[in-house]
Structure 1
Amino acid sequence: MNKLKNNAELAWAAYGYFHFTNKSFHEDSPTRKNETIALVDILNIEYKDYGVAQTIQLGQSTKQIIIGTLDGDFTPNQAKRFFKKYDLLIHQPNTEKGFSVGLFEELIC
């Protein structure tokens, strides 16, 4: 049963938007304004629909634009446990044809 749960979580996590890692939460986010997005945040349902920001230079000022939204479905504890057990090796965001993949390695505890 545990193996089934682990495989289901791996399949589920493979669809994470990991290309948003190290980007920032948008300044209009309900919480975590302008904070850096970590791997665990991407899977965390508490941040579902939060804007992901990129800062652009406009003359002498800067502006944040939303480049996407988070779409995690793991509970906060589930997301933390997942990344204590697995490391993300490679992430390929969606291609033009809609292909994406995440490759994880099980950590030795």
Structure 2
Amino acid sequence: MTCRRWRSAAYERLAALQEELERVRERGVAFEREESTLNVFCAAAPVRDGSGAVVAAISTSVSSAHWHQRPEECWADLVQQGADRLSALLGFTDPHRPASTRQSVWLPTLLPN
């Protein structure tokens, strides 16, 4: 099966898309690199409720110029921290990852002084 190409960076083959979805599941964050809009990069993470069901997502979208000023892990940490905080407010706790382990070294560099 061939996937319709939206932009030049989009997935052309279903197998490539399926491989990326598996990486997203493992990593817990999804990236969108100019696939829907040129010069715009995004990172997103799921928000879970008390039962563990995904009920929402949080994302950030930035220009490619800003995106490349920091490592991709920075953007992943940012959305994962936000998703973790929202999930905790909804009653979700992850026994495999205590909340205290999700401290970003990147967040202070993103916030204005």
| Structure (1 or 2) with the greater strand fraction | 1
Short-chain TM bin: under 0.3
Q: Which has the higher helix share?
A: 2
TM-score by length of 2: 0.25
**TM-score, structure 1 normalization:** 0.25
Q: Which has the higher contact order (CA 8 A, sep 6+)?
A: 1
